[in-house]
Structure 1
């Protein structure tokens, strides 16, 4: 849904005539769009760089499609791991956004990155090739 624009971010709701706060619930600085929420937002980008160390070379923050293209085009044999990491990140960042917007609770980017690592770790423990991927966490 993040790729196809199906998430009900502030910009999408405003376009439908629904009156909502246009600011990002994570950083409170910029308008909330899918692109901003998952990659342009400092909170989200901090999480992603903690999880994927090789993103640090990107001068411009990519959108969801560019990250998937980067993974697809890489020669790395751990593509499934990186896809799992990005999809898990998008899921948990969206949940954090909703918790802040509707629940009034928040966690730091460090805590959320750790939570994502734990979930991804538990998932890859079921993989046959887990020993190869373990060094990436």
Structure 2
């Protein structure tokens, strides 16, 4: 849904005539849209940078498609792990956005990155060669 623009971000809701705050619930500074929430936002970029520190190319803020393309082209051996990390990050960042907007709860980017690593760790430990990927987390 993120890649297809199916998430109901503020810009999408406003374009449908629904009155909502257009400020990003994660950074409280920029307008909320899919592009901003995933990678342009300082909060989510801090999470992605922490999770993908082994990739070493995050000087610029890539969009999701650029990140998938980079992983596919340069990390063929470990790409399943990196794809899982990105997808898990997108999922958890969206949950955090909703918790902040609708639940009044918020956690730091560091805490969310740890939560994502734990979720990914538990998933890869079920993989046949998951034990060899732990060092990449």
Q: Could you say whether these structures have the same fold, taking a TM-score greater than 0.5 normalized by the shorter chain as the test?
A: yes
Question: Paired residue for 1:49?
Answer: 49
- Post-superposition offset of 1:70: 1.0
Unaligned runs of 5+ in 1: none
Report the equivalent of 1:128.
128
Structure 1 match to 2:95: 95
- Report deviation, 1:132: 2.2
Cα offset, 1:56, TM superposition = 4.7
What's the offset of the Cα at 1:75?
3.8
Distance change in 2, residues 1:20/1:56 (3 Å):
farther
User: What is the distance in 1 between the residues matched to 2:22 and 2:67?
Assistant: 25
Alignment pair present for 1:3 and 2:3: yes
CA contact (8 A) 1:99 1:105 kept: yes
Aligned length: 137
RMSD after superposition: 1.1
Q: Which residue of 2 aligns with 1:24?
A: 24
Distance in 1 between the 2:9 and 2:121 partners? Answer: 29
Q: Secondary structure at the match of 2:117?
A: helix
Q: Is 35-44 or 72-81 further displaced after alignment?
A: 72-81
CA drift of 1:129 comes to 1.1
The answer to whether the Cα contact below 8 Å between 1:49 and 1:55 also exists between their aligned partners in 2 is: no
Match of 1:108 in 2: 108
1:51/1:113 contact within 8 Å kept: yes
Give the unaligned 5+ runs of structure 2: none
What TM-score, normalized by structure 2, do the two folds share? 0.95
Cα deviation 1:31-56 (Å, max 9, x = unaligned):
10101101000000000111110455
Please name the residue that 1:67 is paired with. Answer: 67
Runs of 4+ more than 4 Å apart: none
